[in-house]
Amino acid sequence: MTSRHSSVCPLDCPDACSLEVQVEGGRVSRIDAGVANPLTQGFICAKVRRFAEHVYSPDRLLYPAARTGTKGSGQFQRISWEEALERITVRMREAERLWGSESILPFSYGGSNGLISQDTTDARLFFRLGASRLARTVCSVPTRLAAEGLYGRMPTVAVEDYLHSRLIVLWGVNPSATGIHLVPIVQQALERGAKLVVVDPRVTPLAARAHLHLPLHPGTDLPLALGLIRWLFVHEKADTAFLDQHASGVAQLRERAEAWDLPKVAAETGLSVEALESFVRLYAESHPAVIRCGWGQERNRNGGSATAAILALPAVAGKFGVRGGGYTLSNSGAFRLDSLAAAGATSPASREINMNLLGETLLGDLRPPVKVLFVYNANPVSTLPCQEKVRSGMLREDLFTIVFEQVMTDTALYADLLLPATTFLERREMSRGYGAMVLQDAAAVIPPEGESRSNHDVFADLCRRLGLSREGDAVTDEAIVQAILGAHPKGNEYRAGLAARGVAHPPTGYAPIPFVDFLPWTADQKVHLFPDELDRIARNGLYHYETDAGNPRYPLALISPATGNTVSSMLGQTLKREAKVEIHPDDALPRGIAEGDTVRVFNDLGEVLLRARVSPSVRPGVVVIPKGLWSRHTLNGATSNALSPDSLSDIGGGACFNDARVDVRRAHTTSGS
C-alpha cells in the first residue's frame, strides 16, 4: 500500500522545505517537495531527496549498545534500553556524588533539530541536574550578537523579495550549496536586470555569474565593510536623513572606519582599488539593494565585528524602507518562540563551557573535571576545531561518554554507551525556518527503525529515573507543542495556521518590509550602529581589526565551506567520494603540486593527507577542504578540523574554522617516484 504524507525538513538550512513523503509497505520510497512553504518552489535538494539512504543506512544505530573494545575501536554489544538508561542513571549519580554535578557535560548543537527535539526535556534534565552548561558557539553566535546589537534581531528581508532588488550582494554565503532556493530567485532578478556582487574568497557558482566578484582574503571583511562605510560618508552618499531619524552611534562608527581609505582596504583584502570603487559606487547608486549576509565571514577572529560592519551598511547607505532593500541574515528570531521556558527549564548558575574548547576542556586541568559527557544532536569529532585534541580527550579512560545518535558517526565510535535516535521521519517535529519565515509541524511518517527513540522521550525518561520530574512537566510531543505555543501571545494564531494550511508565519508576516512594517527590535527602536554592549564584549573593542599578516611559517589560509553533499557532517556516511583540497595554480606550481597529487596539508595542530585539485576557483593564498567530512573521506583519517585552531572570534566565542593557517607539500609516495 502506498501513502503520501506531508512533512517538513528540519535539517540545518535556511529554507525549511515542505516535503511530501511517499511510504510503501511501511518504508519511505520517495521524498519530494511539499506545498506549505512557498519558498520550496516545487523542488528540494538532492541530499534530502535521498534521505531514505540515511534512514535505512547500514550505519544506522538500531539498539542501545555498550562498548566492548578499546575506546574508538567501534566494538559494541547490544543491550536493552532498560539497562542502558539504568547505567546512565548510576553513572550520573556517581559523578554527582564524587565530583559534583558540574562534572556532567551535555554536549549538543542541534542545528538540524526542530523545536521538539532540542531545548525541551533535555534542557530540563541537565538544568535540574545542575550540570555544566554548554555555550553553543560552534555556529552563528557572532552573527546573532551582531544582528541583536544593531537591530534587536528583527526579521530581515525575505529572499523572495530579491525579485524587487536592483542590486543583490551575496556576502560570505554560498546559496548554491547552503540554501538552494535562493538560486532561481537570483537568476530571475538577474533576468529582470538586477546586478549581482559576490564577496567570497572562492569562485562560487553564483560568483561565476556575478557582475562583480570580490575574492577577498579570508578574514578581511571588516576592513572591507569599514572602507565602504568611510567612502559613503566621505563622498556624501550616506543617508543622513535616515540616520538622523533611525540610528544612533553614527559618529563612533565613522570614527572607527576613519582609518580605512580604499588603498588601505585594497592592501589588506587583496582586492584592487578599482574593484572596491566599482562596488561602493554600485551599492550607493542601486535602489533597492539587498545584502544577503552569510556565515563565511563569521568563522574568523574578526567575525563579530565584520558582521556588525556589514549589517551597518544598509543603514548608512539608506537602503531600508522599500521591498527588496536592506539585508537578510537569520530570521530564527522572528517567531519569538521559547522552547526552554515552555519546557520548564530554568538555567542553573553552574559553570559554562564553550563548546569550541571541547578538546581543551577534556584534556585540561578543570575542576571538577568532566567525567560524564552526553553527546546528542552533534558530531564533535568531525565538526569541532582542534580535532586531535577532541579525539585525545574522548580517549580518556576515566571519561564516561554517552552518544545518542542516528548513525555510527566518527564521534559514536568513542562512546562507552550508544543510544539510537529516531530521524525526523520517525517522530513528530515542529520546525521553524531561519530563512523562510515559516513554522511547520509534521507528524511521524514511518515507525521508528529498530529500537530508536526520540530525544524528548529519552530525556523525559532519564529525568524521571533521576527523580527530577515535576508535576505538570510537558513530556509528550503534543504536550511540548502545546506548551511552546501556549506560552506565546500569538500561539492561537500559529495553531490556526498550522491546522488550516500546515504552516504559520510570524506576526510580522511572511515577507515583511523592515522600517515599513516594523522598526528595529531594539529597546528604542533605532539601529545601534555602535552598540555599547558589543564594544564592551569585543576582544579589542568593536570594529577593531586583528591580523597576523603574512604568517611566515604557514603562508596559506585554509577555509572549509559547506558542500551540497552533507548538512554539516550529517549524511557523511552516504558520501563515498574521497575529498580533495583545492589550491590555486600560483600556490601549486612553486610547490611542484599537480592535479591529483597526494599532498599533506599541515600546521602545528596536525596534518591532512588527501589529493589536490589545482584550480583557479580559489584565490591565491587560500586552500579549501570541505566542511562536514568524516574520517573515511581522507587518506589519513584527519579532516579540515585537524587544522582549525581553537582560537575564538572577537565577539561571542565563535569558532575560527575559516581562520586556519597551513602549508601544503607533496606527500612522499612509496613508489619512489
Per CB under 5 A, residues contacting Mo ion are: 139
Enumerate residues 6+ apart whose C-beta is below 8 A from 665: 591, 599, 600, 602
Residue from 178, 305, 339, 440 binding ligand MGD (CB under 6 A): 178
Where in 340-379 is the site for ligand MGD (CB under 6 A)?
376-379
As beta bridge partners, residue 440 has: 431
Name the pairing type of β-strands 27-33 and 18-24. antiparallel
Residue from 152, 223, 227, 294 binding ligand MGD (CB under 6 A): 294
Shortest approach of Mo ion to residue 522 CB, angstroms?
25
Q: Work out whether 421 is an interface residue with ligand MGD (CB under 6 A).
A: yes
Q: Work out whether 404 is an interface residue with ligand MGD (CB under 6 A).
A: yes
Q: Work out whether 573 is an interface residue with ligand MGD (CB under 6 A).
A: no
Shortest approach of ligand MGD to residue 240 CB, angstroms?
28
Burial label for 544, CB within 10 Å (0-12, 13-18, 19+), is middle
Residue from 383, 431, 452, 469 binding ligand MGD (CB under 6 A): 383
Question: Following DSSP, what letter does each residue of 50-98 receive, concatenated?
Answer: TTHHHHT-TTB--S-EEE-SSTTS--EEE--HHHHHHHHHHHHHHHHHH
Where in 543-562 is the site for ligand MGD (CB under 6 A)?
559-562
DSSP secondary structure code for residue 132 in this structure: P
Contact yes or no for 480/343 (Cβ under 8 A):
yes
Q: Work out whether 318 is an interface residue with ligand MGD (CB under 6 A).
A: no
CB atoms within 10 A of CB 274: 10
- The stretches of 235-271 forming alpha helices (DSSP H) are 240-246, 250-257, 262-269
Q: Work out whether 295 is an interface residue with ligand MGD (CB under 6 A).
A: yes
Contact string 634-673 vs ligand MGD (x = CB under 6 A):
------xx--x------------xx---------------
- Among the residue ranges 403-411, 445-453, 577-585, 599-607, the one whose residues contact ligand MGD (CB under 6 A): 403-411
CA distances for 500 relative to 338, 477, 494, 495, 506, angstroms: 23, 20, 10, 9, 15
Q: Work out whether 112 is an interface residue with ligand MGD (CB under 6 A).
A: yes
Q: Work out whether 152 is an interface residue with ligand MGD (CB under 6 A).
A: no
Distance CA(262)–CA(270), nearest Å, equals 11
Contact yes or no for 355/136 (Cβ under 8 A):
yes
Contact yes or no for 71/394 (Cβ under 8 A):
yes
Q: Work out whether 380 is an interface residue with ligand MGD (CB under 6 A).
A: yes
Where in 202-261 is the site for ligand MGD (CB under 6 A)?
202, 204, 218-219, 221
Contact string 595-634 vs ligand MGD (x = CB under 6 A):
--------------------------------xx------
Closest-approach residue to Mo ion (CB): 139
User: Grid coordinates standing for 533?
Assistant: 554592549
Shortest approach of Mo ion to residue 625 CB, angstroms?
17
Distance CA(517)–CA(511), nearest Å, equals 10
Q: Enumerate binding residues for ligand MGD (CB under 6 A).
A: 12-13, 109, 111-113, 117, 138-140, 171-174, 177-179, 199-202, 204, 218-219, 221, 294-297, 299-300, 376-380, 383, 404-407, 409, 421, 455, 559-562, 564, 566-570, 627-628, 640-641, 644, 657-658
